[in-house]
């Protein structure tokens, strides 16, 4: 059954998502990052290259010829998400529950500080609970410096 993890209190959602991506890669897992907003997808793509001067998160877009051998796949399209061949980790950076989420072993949801983001995250949290999935909650604001 899919494990759902919510990380709330992120002052910078994209930076937290980059750090979580790096951790997943360190664990030798493969992940898909779902971002339907094309501007946000481009911004996140660039941030994965630059967020840390001492680490590298190998990534590409789902349609890229290297997608089968790349640890982190970026997707902005639900049809692309369905075609992915691995089903380890899905990181959702969208306001709604991602399509085909239940094909993955783990779903990561990052929740920012903005009120609208919190409201959308609560809806997703309830949805997962109502579907019977185990949901874990990690509070980032208690761990930040």
Higher pLDDT, 81 or 134: 134
Q: Which of 30-34, 72-76, 138-142 has the lowest mean pLDDT?
A: 138-142
Which sequence spans correspond to the domains of the chain?
3-140
CA 117 to CA 128: how far, in whole Å?
A: 17
Per-residue pLDDT band at 82 (split at 50, 70, 90): low
Burial of 53 (0-12, 13-18, 19+ CB in 10 A): exposed
**Category of 24 on φ-ψ map: left (φ > 0), alpha (ψ -120 to 50) or beta:** alpha
- Reported pTM: 0.91
Query: What average pLDDT does the chain have?
Result: 91
Domain 3-140 superfamily per CATH? DNA polymerase III subunit chi (3.40.50.10110)
Q: Edge-to-edge strands of the sheet including 89-92?
A: 59-61, 72-75, 31-34, 89-92, 106-112, 3-10, 134-139
pLDDT tens by residue, 9-61: 999 999 999 999 999 999 999 999 999 999 999 999 999 999 988 877 999 99
Per-residue pLDDT band at 145 (split at 50, 70, 90): very low
């Amino acid at each position: 059954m899919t494990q759902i993890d919510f990380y709330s209190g992120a002052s910078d959602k994209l930076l937290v998502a980059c750090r979580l991506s790096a951790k997943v890669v360190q664990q030798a897992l493969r992940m898909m990052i779902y971002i339907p907003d094309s501007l946000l997808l481009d911004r996140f793509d660039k941030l994965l290259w630059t967020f840390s001067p001492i680490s590298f998160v190998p990534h590409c877009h789902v349609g890229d010829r290297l997608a089968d051998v790349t640890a982190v796949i970026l997707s902005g399209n639900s049809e692309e998400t369905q075609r992915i061949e691995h089903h380890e980790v899905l990181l959702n950076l969208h306001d709604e529950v991602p399509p085909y989420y239940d094909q993955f072993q783990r779903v990561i949801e990052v929740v920012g500080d903005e009120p609208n983001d919190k409201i959308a995250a609560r809806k997703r949290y309830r949805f997962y609970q109502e579907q019977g999935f185990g949901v874990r909650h990690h509070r980032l604001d208690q761990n930040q410096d």
